[in-house]
Structure 1
Amino acid sequence: MSSPLSRLRLADLLPVATIGLRTRPGRAGLSVLGVAIGIAAMVAVLGVTRSSQAEVLAQLDRLGTNLLTVTSADPRGGEEQRLPSAAGPSTARTEGVLAASATAQLDDLHVYRSDLVPATQRGGLDVRVTDTALPSTLDAGLLTGVFLDEATANYPVVVLGFEAATVLGIADLSGDDRIWLGGRWYVVVGILEQVDLAPEIDRAALIGAGTAAADFGWDGHPTRVYVRADTGRTAEVASMLPRAANPQAPSRVSVSRPSDVLSARLAVADATTSLFLGLGAVALLVGGIGIANVMVISVLERRGEVGLRRALGAARRHVAAQFVVESVLLGAVGGGAGVLLGAAVTVALAQNRGWQPIIPSVAAALGLAAALLVGTVAGLYPALRAARMAPTEALRTA
């Protein structure tokens, strides 16, 4: 008479598969930790990168990608070189240009809070001549006060960039704020907000063309022209600006787009993401090897149990399923813990940097899937090894 086929109900599989986890929680915890670290690294890298990229994209949307700067193509000694005097009006008349503003850096002029400050202390601030169209071209707001107009541009008044005002210790214009500029007193009438796409404006003291010509002999040649182009025609406008700024020698004119620096940050972030994802994958692989080692040891330690179950009629597939499910559970718990840990790291870093925390759902799903896959693969060999044990051999060597 043939013996009945061995059966293992699904309701019984989970308690049987967790015997090793419940009896050796320390070893199981270390295995879970290995997988959790790998998954947390991958989730955190993707989350932090996505949060950072979202912030950069929001900044690009806010600042615009249609701002261009026109300068000399051969600066010497770090100083801006002169452009033709008609460079400003010519670029403003170029097709596709919405606004243009010409500025000039005045060399050998320095800015001080008082006339008692030694001339050797430069402070790293520049003096720039500007026209009245600068705020609208740069989309720059005023922190306080007013900007230069057609009247004040001819008088000894100055508007400070954000960094320049900070260095000089001028936070508001509640008093009679003056600065010592080029050996003359200038009244501060305004302070600009920070201009992210034009840092040279942030550290400059801005004066009008009339007073620059009268006090310092400025000859009307700009050194930098800011151009706000039609967004859809930015590349086309950029190709036309060298000839517009210097028809005689367009090759000596350089046109750049400040927002390209922000765009480059996205490319760097993508490259860095690939690197750290690779490191996270290595950590996950190490965690998988740890699970495999634990399962192999578990099989060796539980030979008596395996032999007894086989002698009582348990099929090979039931023994294999027991150890595979145990390994999958280790991977699943490690994956879940890793996703939570990675999300927590993402939120903490994003809030510290002032970003909107973004945790991609794809990252969490792939993290869990990867953990389950690692747990399954890591448990196959130990499970097959346990299933192949002969009952007599297992009982004899137990």
Structure 2
Amino acid sequence: MRAADLLTTGTLGVRRRRARAVLSALGISIGIAAIVAVLGVTSSSQSALLAQIDRLGTNLLTVVNGRDLGGGEARLPVEATAMIRRMAGVLHVAPTTQLADRSVYRNVLVPVGQTGGLAVRACDPALLATLDGRVRRGRFLDTATARYPVTVLGYEAARTLGITGTGPDVRVWLGRHWFTVAGILDPFPLAPEIDRSALVGFPVAARLLGYDGHPSRLYVRADQDRVGQVSGLLAMTTNPAHPEEADVHRPSDALTARLAVSRSGAALFLGLGAVALLVGGIGVGNIMVISVLERRGEIGLRRALGAARRHVAAQFLTESLVLAAIGGTAGLAAGCLVTTVVSRARGWEVLIPAEAVWGGPVTALAVGAVAGLYPALRAAALAPTDALRTA
């Protein structure tokens, strides 16, 4: 039998029963679409996350006051910033202090308890360079404005307060004093606590807000090649008397953890896609068995006219492969479409792995071959006289 004849006879059932063929291929297409979409969306999101990690850097460390032996909140030494600056491998240090019992409001009419979850933090001008941040609007604190009632709002703080502009006429009620809003910051992915804070200078914090000179959080930017060394010595350098009261963290570890979670989640969804593909393959096998039973007369006639068993088997196996190919192609297109839509909506670069492009159709064909093997062998085993008698 020629290949052209095999294709013609193998697609006879597909062409005659188009609705059933579409429904049979649908199960495989759903499984392939799920697998391709999971691989594509995961690759796109991981690429965006890796780009964000590379852009933000993994050399930012934070030192936070921990707990003392009595379980109370520890205090970092006043000299901590100066001691860390003398460490080898440290590029920038920026101390900050969250001012307890100090809140920021849009005006004096807002009830005291409605803080919106915003904090007031004292900082120095080195904070922006240490965090590699940017000012969205206005300007950041400097040595001059840090002495006066001037504040810079984090991105979320500005949104919560409903402030979109800066200048002498834009003020907030902060710690029972009016503060002029000098700037609004862009988001800080590695320091989300800054996003929800109103920042003021250390001098004005000491004069008006009760700042006592002890930092509560220090941001340290280390040399990329010496991050591990700096991290290991940071607690001892910050608080030589009680290093256990200084907690050292690397914020980029949270992004790395998100990457690991994304990969584990992808494995779960790939498993669900494989289950859908298995169900689709069982559906194709079921339809092919029914097709063999319905076409016993055709099988018997072909055998009586001289068709060999292998010709009959090849006919039904080809039909199963055609159904799988239709489902695999449709699933690949649907998976690529889902990946593109999701990636564009989230601002990611669209990445569809090569193994998904060629692996989807190949997997579909493999499932179709396995699903059609038993019906094909069953059709080939029919004797011509039995097939014609029971047709």
Whether 2:92 is the aligned partner of 1:99: answer yes
Whether 2:354 is the aligned partner of 1:333: answer no
Write the deviation string for residues 144-186 of structure 1: whole angstroms up to 9, x where unpaired.
Answer: 2222222222222211111222222221125511222111122
Kept after mapping to 1: 8 A contact 2:135/2:186? yes
* Equivalent in the alignment of 2:349: 356
Write the deviation string for residues 31-89 of structure 1: whole angstroms up to 9, x where unpaired.
Answer: 1101101100110111111111111111111111111110123299x997521111111
> What is the correspondence of 1:178-193 to structure 2 with a 5 Å cutoff?
178-193=171-186
> What is the correspondence of 1:373-392 to structure 2 with a 5 Å cutoff?
373-392=366-385
TM-score, L = length of structure 2: 0.96
* Equivalent in the alignment of 1:53: 46
1:320 corresponds, among 302, 313, 320, to: 313
* Equivalent in the alignment of 2:284: 291
Kept after mapping to 2: 8 A contact 1:69/1:257? yes
Residue type matched to 1:247 in 2?
P
Give the match's secondary structure for 2:322: helix
Moved more, 336-345 or 144-153: 144-153
> What is the correspondence of 1:74-223 to structure 2 with a 5 Å cutoff?
74=67, 81-174=74-167, 176-223=169-216
1:235 corresponds, among 194, 218, 228, to: 228
* Equivalent in the alignment of 1:5: none
Per-residue deviation at 1:10? 1.4
Kept after mapping to 2: 8 A contact 1:80/1:224? no
User: Using the alignment, how far apart are the partners of 1:290 and 1:103 within structure 2?
Assistant: 63
Name segments (4+ residues, structure 1) moved above 3 Å.
78-81
Residue type matched to 2:24 in 1?
S
Identity of aligned residues (%): 59
TM-score, L = length of structure 1: 0.94
User: Using the alignment, how far apart are the partners of 2:167 and 2:152 within structure 1?
Assistant: 15
Whether 2:219 is the aligned partner of 1:226: answer yes
Per-residue deviation at 1:220? 0.8
Write the deviation string for residues 122-142 of structure 1: whole angstroms up to 9, x where unpaired.
Answer: 222111111110000001111
User: Using the alignment, how far apart are the partners of 1:47 and 1:391 within structure 2?
Assistant: 50
* Equivalent in the alignment of 2:6: 13
Residue type matched to 1:208 in 2?
G
Per-residue deviation at 1:354? 2.0
Equivalent pairs counted in the alignment come to 390
1:259 corresponds, among 252, 260, 277, to: 252
Residue type matched to 1:371 in 2?
A
User: Using the alignment, how far apart are the partners of 2:202 and 2:278 within structure 1?
Assistant: 66
**Residues 132 and 79 of structure 1: CA distance in aligned 2, closer, same or farther (over 3 Å):** farther
* Equivalent in the alignment of 1:62: 55
Kept after mapping to 2: 8 A contact 1:80/1:223? no
Kept after mapping to 2: 8 A contact 1:71/1:81? no
User: Using the alignment, how far apart are the partners of 1:80 and 1:139 within structure 2?
Assistant: 29
Give the match's secondary structure for 1:144: strand
Write the deviation string for residues 80-112 of structure 1: whole angstroms up to 9, x where unpaired.
Answer: 752111111111221111111001111001112
* Equivalent in the alignment of 1:270: 263
Question: Where does the alignment leave 5 or more consecutive residues of structure 2 unmatched?
Answer: none
Kept after mapping to 1: 8 A contact 2:317/2:376? yes
Residue type matched to 2:106 in 1?
R
2:37 corresponds, among 41, 44, 56, to: 44
Kept after mapping to 2: 8 A contact 1:82/1:222? yes
User: Using the alignment, how far apart are the partners of 1:149 and 1:333 within structure 2?
Assistant: 66
Give the match's secondary structure for 2:173: strand
* Equivalent in the alignment of 1:303: 296
Kept after mapping to 1: 8 A contact 2:167/2:181? no
**Residues 328 and 291 of structure 1: CA distance in aligned 2, closer, same or farther (over 3 Å):** same
Kept after mapping to 2: 8 A contact 1:71/1:80? no
2:338 corresponds, among 317, 336, 345, to: 345
